Amino acid sequence: MTRHSVRVLTAIVSTVLCVASVAQGQYVPHVVKANVPFEFTFRDKVFPPGDYVLACTPVAVELRNAQGEVVATEIPHSVQSRDTLRTPKLVFSTDTGSHVLSQIWPGTGQYGYELARSKSATLLAKQRASKPGAVAGGGNK
């Protein structure tokens, strides 16, 4: 190869790598607007009832208040439904007696976002499992 060919090839490869890295970092967020009629927990923080907006991408879920301010951020996991969902939906778990936001379905297909269980919910589940007599079985005397 000539010196000129090497320079041209290096320039092309550099351009492709730059464009690929910029394109990968851009996600159009799924936006879910919700009026939550009860107190709920998101990322170990308790929020009052009200209007909220969730901006969801594969790398982050942002919870925004009615003024559009980001009040909490969480890293989600992808979750898939058997059915195609056309309506946005929020799923709350109530393991600890409080409402904890656990899934967000944007209503754009089969994919949604699942949030990790809070530290307090995980701790409570461990405590319940470790109570004497909570495990079925025989032979203990």
> Percentage of the chain surpassing pLDDT 70?
66
Would the pLDDT of 44 be above 90?
A: no
Strand 40-42 and strand 45-47: the pairing is: antiparallel
Element containing residue 52 per DSSP (H, E): strand 50-57
The whole-number average pLDDT for the span 100-121 is 85
Instruction: Select the more confidently predicted residue: 106 or 11.
Output: 106
Query: Is the distance from CB of 104 to CB of 90 less than 8 angstroms?
Result: yes
Give per-residue burial for 122-134: e unless 16+ CB within 10 Å, then b.
eeeeeeeeeeeee
Query: Whole-number mean pLDDT of the chain?
Result: 78
* Share in percent of the chain as helix, strand, coil (round to 5): 25, 40, 35
pLDDT given for residue 135 in this prediction: 42
| pTM score, whole prediction | 0.65
Q: Residue 23 corresponds to which tokens in the numbers above? A: 């394109």
> Which phi and psi (to 5°) does residue 39 adopt?
-70, 140
The whole-number average pLDDT for the span 46-62 is 94
Q: Residue 42 corresponds to which tokens in the numbers above? A: 């998101």
Sequence spans of domains, the chain: 30-127
pLDDT given for residue 32 in this prediction: 95
- For 66-98, how does the pLDDT look when each residue is reduced to its tens digit (9 = 90+)? 999 999 999 999 999 999 889 999 999 987 778
pLDDT given for residue 116 in this prediction: 86
